[in-house]
Amino acid sequence: MRHLIDPLDLSKAEAQSLLELAMRIRQDPAAYQEVATHKKLATLFYEPSTRTRLSFEAAMLNLGGHVLGFPSDIVSSATKGESVADTIRIISCYADIAAMRHPKEGAPLRASRYSRIPVINAGDGGHQHPTQTLTDLLTILTRKGRLENLTIGLCGDLKFGRTVHSLIKTMARYEGVRFVLISPEELRVPDYIIKDVLQANNISYTETHSLEDAMPELDILYMTRVQKERFFNEEDYVRLKNSYILTREKMGLAKPDMAVLHPLPRVNEIALDVDDDPRAAYFEQAQNGVYVRMALIMMLLGLTDPKTGKEVSLC
Ligand code: NCD
């Protein structure tokens, strides 16, 4: 049995097959509507979420399966003091697969050790968010036609943004990828990402405070919000929250075929008039989130792809 806790839990080849399956689903979603009949997905969300939880639920419903779960810790037995280990032992009796979001880093990993069903990390604290990365990969691939030889700018809260950490870890596996890390000093990418991922693999990267300076060289611009809930004090958040605002004017500095991604929710880091720019890919990215989650559920459960007649599974 396999889990998805860290983005590198999938080999490059497995991620490739998953993206190919997601693209087949994207072309003809109706063909997949009975693939998971009688299967149940549990969504265990101890932290707020709109897109991730609902896209997991939509994914399972689109496959003809069922969903159960809780949307916040206040309506679960966590308030009574139940441990994640006990919760997943119980959920293993009720569902075939589980997606867990938790404010504590490592909670989904711990759950996976006690689980009898596949566990998917749907975001753990400021750590990792592997299914958002699969969503980002599908969006980059469909927009640019490749995952190699890209200059990727990541802008905003690179310290607490788990989507940023997972994306860097994953994209570092593709040849010719360069990163431009755009953040205020206090919100720089954590040292472990710089040392263990970028420097350890000889990946080219630069750090800058200026979005305008970086703009002209980027193939992808990945905007992020400042992660209010991970700050220790309100004053720091207020001071940093407007560090970067992508405007139509700044878009004028970018390549004509750059793509703007954002995991969403947006606060005010992308002005509303950028939404009409054909380079804005963030709403399409949210739609892609459903296709990759459908593909992931199919692969973790070893379901049959109606298009090929073959069982899809991780090696
Ligand atoms: C992200 C998250 O939860 O980390 N949202 C999401 O899953 N789409 C990004 C964020 O909350 O800023």
Q: What is the DSSP string of 186-240?
A: GGPPPHHIIIIIIITTT-EEEEES-HHHHGGG-SEEEE----GGG-S-HHHHHHH
At residue 143 the predicted structure's pLDDT band, cuts being 50, 70 and 90, is very high
Q: Is the CB of 51 under 6 A from ligand 1?
A: yes
- Please tell me the distance between residue 308's alpha carbon and the centre of ligand 1 in angstroms: 33
Confirm or reject: Cβ of 53 under 6 Å from ligand 1. Answer: no
Q: Looking at the predicted structure, is the pLDDT value of residue 30 above 90?
A: yes
The mean pLDDT of 273-286, rounded to a whole number, is: 98
Q: 193 is written with which tokens?
A: 């990402």
Ligand 1 mean position, distance from CA 307 (Å): 32
Instruction: Judge whether residue 239 has pLDDT over 90.
Output: yes
* Kind and range of the H or E run holding 20: helix 12-27
First to last CA, the chain: 11
Q: Is 304 a catalytic residue?
A: no
pLDDT for res 79 = 80
Among protein residues, the one whose CA lies closest to atom 6 of ligand 1: 263
Atom of ligand 1 nearest to the CA of 225: 12
pLDDT tens for each residue of 177-222: 999 999 999 999 999 999 999 999 999 999 999 999 999 999 999 9
Q: What is the pLDDT of residues 252-277, one digit of tens each?
A: 999 999 999 999 999 999 999 999 99
Q: Which of 164, 165, 264 to mutate to test the pocket of ligand 1 (most atoms within 8 A of CB)?
A: 264
Of 3, 24, 101, 110, which one is the catalytic site residue? 101
127 lines ligand 1 (CB under 6 A): no
pLDDT in tens, 48-80: 898 899 999 999 999 999 999 999 888 778 888
Q: Does the beta carbon of 52 sit less than 6 angstroms from any atom of ligand 1? A: yes
Question: Of residues 43, 52, 87, 151, which has the active-site annotation?
Answer: 52
Q: What is the mean pLDDT of residues 235-240?
A: 94
Pocket test for ligand 1, best of 158, 163, 270 (most atoms within 8 A of CB): 163
Whole-number Å distance, alpha carbon 100 to ligand 1 midpoint, is 14
Q: Is the dihedral of CA 75, 78, 82, 83 positive or negative?
A: positive
* Lowest-confidence segment of 77-86, 99-108, 203-212 by average pLDDT: 77-86
* Cα–Cα dist 160/166, whole Å: 12
156 Cβ closer than 6 Å to some ligand 1 atom: no
| Ligand 1 atom with least separation from CA of 263 | 8
123 CB less than 6 Å from ligand 1? yes
Average pLDDT over residues 78-94: 93
Going from the Cα of 161 to the center of ligand 1, the distance in angstroms, rounded, reads 8
Instruction: Please give the number of the atom of ligand 1 that sits closest to the Cα of 101.
Output: 3
State the Cα torsion 105-116-99-196 to the nearest 10°: 40
Assess whether pLDDT exceeds 90 at residue 103: yes
Structure-token pair, residue 116:
């009898």
The string of pLDDT tens digits covering residues 127-140 is 999 999 999 999 99
Predicted structure pTM score: 0.97
pLDDT exceeds cutoff 90 at 115: yes
Q: Is 263 in the pocket of ligand 1 (CB under 6 A)?
A: yes
How much is the mean pLDDT over the chain? Answer: 96
Measured CA distances, 148 to 3, 27, 129, 228 (Å): 26, 23, 21, 33
Is any atom of ligand 1 closer than 6 Å to the C-beta of 142? no
Query: Is 169 part of the annotated catalytic residue set?
Result: no
DSSP letter string over 265-314?
Answer: --SSSB-GGGGGSTTB-HHHHHHHHHHHHHHHHHHHHT-EETTTTEE---
Residue of minimum CA distance from atom 8 in ligand 1? 263
According to DSSP, residue 57 is labeled H
What the block records as the tokens of 26 is 């994207």
